[in-house]
Structure 1
Amino acid sequence: MPRIINAQKLVRTVALALLIGSAAMAQEAGTLIIQNDRGGAIGARLIAIAQANSSRTRIELRGRICYSSCTLYLGADDICVSPDTVFGFHGPSRNGRPLPDAEFEHWSQIMAAQYRAPLRDWFLKTARHRITGYYRLTGAQLVAMGYAPC
C-alpha cells in the first residue's frame, strides 16, 4: 500500500529539487521519480538520499538520462531503475577540474559507497578516473548487476 507523504515533507523535497538543480522530479504517494537529471553537487545528492531513506520514500530513476551525481541515488534504500535510462559515470572534480590526490580519493570513496558491487568495483577501477565526459551504462546493465527494474 503506498504511503502518503505529508505536505511538510513534500515542501522539503521540492526545496531539495531546487537545490539539486535541473533534475525533473515528481512526487507520488511515497515515491520520488527522478527523470532526465544531469547531476549536481555530491553533498546535495547525499542529503536528498538521506531524506528519502529516513522517510522510506521509494526512488524511481526513469527518463532518458541520469548523469553524474544523479547516479548516487543508486545508494537509496528503496530504488529501481528504468532499463531504458542511460546512466553517466565519472570521477569527482571541482567544476570539471581535477582534485588534489587526497581529495580525489576521499570523494571517490564516498561516491563508490553509494553503489553496490560490482558497480562499485567498476567505478573505483575505471569510471572515477574519467573527469570529463561520461562512461555510460544502461538501466538494463544495472538491472543485470542486481538493481531492481521499474
Structure 2
Amino acid sequence: MSSWRGSVALALLLAGCQGASVTRDAGGNLRAYIDEARRLDARGAQKAIRGVCASACTIYLGMRNVCVEPGAQFWFHAAHLPDDPSPDSLGSLEMLAFYPPRVREWVMRSGALDSTDFDKAKMLSGEALIAMGVPACRDAPL
C-alpha cells in the first residue's frame, strides 16, 4: 500500500461524525446515511464538513444546509453490499441522486463510482466543491 493510501486508510478508520459537523467520516451503511441526511434536512439542520468525508458520507453534499471547508477532502467510490467488494450499481445510483448537479456531472465524468477502491483521482477538495457551487462554511460551529 502506498504511503498516501495508508494515510488515507488510517484517517478513514478514525472516529466518524456525530451531530452537525463532519471531521473524519469513513462512511458506512448507505441506508443509515440516507436516513440521517433526510432527518437533518427535515429539521433544517446544518451539516458542516471540515475534514475527511468518504464513501456514504459524500451524500451529505446533497443536503439543503450543507457547507464545506476549503481544506476538506471528499473520497468517492462505488457503493457495495456488506461482505461483497464488487460495486452495487443500485446503491451507487442512490448516491448519485443525492449529489448536486455539478458534483453529479463530475462523478459521472470521472468514473468516481465505477469501482469500490479509493483512488486519489476520485477525491475532491472542499475548495473544488466550493468552485462547483457547494456553500463554504462561514463560522459554523464545530
Q: TM tier, shorter chain?
A: 0.7 to 0.9
Could you tell me which of 110, 116, 124 is aligned with 1:131?
116
How many residues align? The count is 120
The one-character-per-residue Cα deviations of 1:66-91 (angstroms, maximum 9, x if unpaired) are 11111111111111001101110011
Q: Which structure has the bigger radius of gyration?
A: 1
Once the two structures are superposed, what CA deviation does each residue of 1:30-83 show, in whole Å capped at 9, x if it has no partner? xx11111111110000010011011110111112x1111111111111110011
Among 69, 79, 92, which residue is 2:66 paired with?
Answer: 79
Tell me the secondary structure at the aligned position of residue 34 of structure 1.
Answer: strand
Q: Does residue 1:53 correspond to 2:46, yes or no?
A: no
Question: Can you give the 5+ residue segments of structure 2 that lack an aligned partner in the other structure?
Answer: 1-13, 138-142
CA distance in 2, matches of 1:105, 1:73: 19
- Corresponding residue SS for 1:124: helix
Q: CA RMSD in A?
A: 1.7
User: TM (normalized to structure 2)?
Assistant: 0.77
Q: Does 1:93 align with 2:93?
A: no
Conservation of the 8 A alpha-carbon contact between 2:86 and 2:115: no
Q: Which has the higher strand share?
A: 1
Question: Structure 1: where are the runs of 5+ without partners?
Answer: 1-20
Q: 1 CA distance for matches of 2:102 and 2:47? A: 21
Q: Whole-Å Cα distance in 1 between the matches of residues 29 and 66 of structure 2?
A: 20
- Cα drift, residue 122 of structure 1: 2.3
Compute the displacement of 1:116 (Å).
1.1
Give the equivalent residue in structure 1 for 2:91: 107
Q: Distance in 2 between matches of 1:81 and 1:115?
A: 14
Instruction: Flag as ranges the 4+ runs of structure 1 deviating above 3 A.
Output: none
